[in-house]
Amino acid sequence: MSKVWEENFSYNAKNVRPSPVREMLAVIKQPGMISFAGGMPAPEIFPVDEFYEGVHILKEDGKNLLQYGTTEGYPPLKEFLAEWTSPRMGKVAALDEMLITTGSQQALDLFSWAIIDRGDFVITEDPTYLAALSTFYNHGAEFLGVPCDGEGMQVDLLPEIIEKARKEGKKVKFIYTIVNFQNPGGSTMTLERRKKLVEISHKYSIPIFEDDPYGYVRFDGEHLPSIFSLDDAGGVIYAGSFSKILSPGSRIGWVTGSKEIIRKMTVFKQTADLCTSTIAQALVAEYCRNGHLDKHIPVIIDNYRVKRDAMQESFKRHLEPLGVSWVKPEGGFFYWLNFPQINTKDLFKKAIEKKVAFVIGEPFCTKPGSGIHNARLCYTFPSPEVTEEGVKRLAEAVQELAQIATV
């Protein structure tokens, strides 16, 4: 190994945390493994034919689409999204209030560029999306975690958290929240708390990053107003994604917000990747223009609702008797399990032996040592039959661990 790299790595490179999900891929790909790990959409319902229907655009408009696109995004896609998202946004966003991103993951990076200085603090739900934590961490952020319950982030705790941090000289730069079917916790923030959160944002002049990749995948009940639509001061940025409602491989996300922040994120996108693939943008835009998006979302919802319910039944059969608990999510991709008295790191090793995989709880948490009794399980990918078998294996792993502990 050449020493030249090691000698020249940045602080970030020396301290970077690889994504536990991405790193687990090698393990997950072992033959016979049942994986509840990655947040992967079900491939059997990808709308392959409907997506393919739009490929003619690559011929008809090829000279334009093979060329550089604008950093701001492919105009027909932005125009579609501005209209399509308007019920949730409470308005039709202007083109300079929206930016197309290379997946909503990039929105996190560009927003971090615009807001975070090393040592700044970010308020997040605890636990939260681990690749958001990693992105903010790479940009030098530290965290103030807010616990969640069945109604989402406990926003009543915020004033005290913010005031204490400020007294200690900490700069609190923004609040990051996944309001719908939170990753990994599964809870959805109530309307009352959403309103309260906006009030707090105004009172303390702290902007909000509303991450909503799962919002359109609701199984039960009514959609709640977005935080973006509840705010009249322009201090909320909303990130959406095609990853869970069409295709993660397309890598198309978007952000809507006031033009000041969109402008800054656009300038950072110039140095991040210049523009998002025009080819991918055009194919997604054609799919949407052809009316497939609204028809396909109910297909996704029906498929995942069945899988969520099946996983819940499997939990009841195999894990509830062992004292394991969870919150039933109203939408999205994940169950967040609590295994009292078991460290899920140990459980993970045992589970891998049994050929079943999940993500351990700790990397979703803002403090080392928390989440050690938790696990995130994704139900969207495996069939109900496979889920039943996987949960059975997991229960066996729990029992074996318990036996070891009592020997």
**Contact set for a second copy, span 145-184 (CB under 8 A):** 173-174
Nearest CB to a second copy, comparing residues 246 and 397 = 246
C-alpha distance from residue 173 to each of 140, 240, 289, 350 (Å)? 12, 21, 38, 41
In the complex, least distance from residue 377 CB atom to a second copy, rounded to whole angstroms: 18
Nearest CB to a second copy, comparing residues 56 and 316 = 56
- How far is Cα 388 from Cα 365, in angstroms, rounded to an integer? 28
Nearest CB to a second copy, comparing residues 246 and 347 = 246
- Asked if 277 touches a second copy (CB under 8 A), the answer is yes
Chain positions 365 to 404 lying near a second copy, rule: CB under 8 A, are none
Listed in sequence order, the residues at least 6 apart from 331 whose beta carbon sits closer than 8 Å to its beta carbon are 180, 181, 188, 214, 215, 217, 218, 219, 220, 301
Nearest CB to a second copy, comparing residues 107 and 391 = 107
- Asked if 59 touches a second copy (CB under 8 A), the answer is yes
**From candidates 191, 267, 299, 404, binder to a second copy by CB under 8 A:** 267
- How far is Cα 107 from Cα 105, in angstroms, rounded to an integer? 5
Nearest CB to a second copy, comparing residues 84 and 268 = 268
- How far is Cα 54 from Cα 83, in angstroms, rounded to an integer? 20
In the complex, least distance from residue 373 CB atom to a second copy, rounded to whole angstroms: 26
What are 185's two structure tokens?
């916790």
DSSP type of residue 66:
S
- Asked if 102 touches a second copy (CB under 8 A), the answer is yes
- Asked if 3 touches a second copy (CB under 8 A), the answer is yes
**From candidates 77, 93, 98, 116, binder to a second copy by CB under 8 A:** 116
**From candidates 19, 190, 303, 370, binder to a second copy by CB under 8 A:** 19
- How far is Cα 106 from Cα 77, in angstroms, rounded to an integer? 17
| DSSP string across 347-403 | HHHHHHHTTEE-EESGGGSSSTTTTTTEEEEE-SSS-HHHHHHHHHHHHHHHHHHHH
Chain positions 66 to 85 lying near a second copy, rule: CB under 8 A, are 66-71
- How far is Cα 353 from Cα 337, in angstroms, rounded to an integer? 20
In the complex, least distance from residue 405 CB atom to a second copy, rounded to whole angstroms: 35
**From candidates 62, 119, 147, 291, binder to a second copy by CB under 8 A:** 62
**From candidates 127, 145, 186, 248, binder to a second copy by CB under 8 A:** 248
Listed in sequence order, the residues at least 6 apart from 298 whose beta carbon sits closer than 8 Å to its beta carbon are none
Nearest CB to a second copy, comparing residues 224 and 275 = 275
Residues in the chain, how many? 407
Q: What is the CA radius of gyration of the chain?
A: 21
Chain positions 295 to 324 lying near a second copy, rule: CB under 8 A, are none
- How far is Cα 348 from Cα 346, in angstroms, rounded to an integer? 5
**From candidates 261, 300, 394, 398, binder to a second copy by CB under 8 A:** 261
**From candidates 175, 179, 283, 357, binder to a second copy by CB under 8 A:** 283
- Asked if 206 touches a second copy (CB under 8 A), the answer is yes
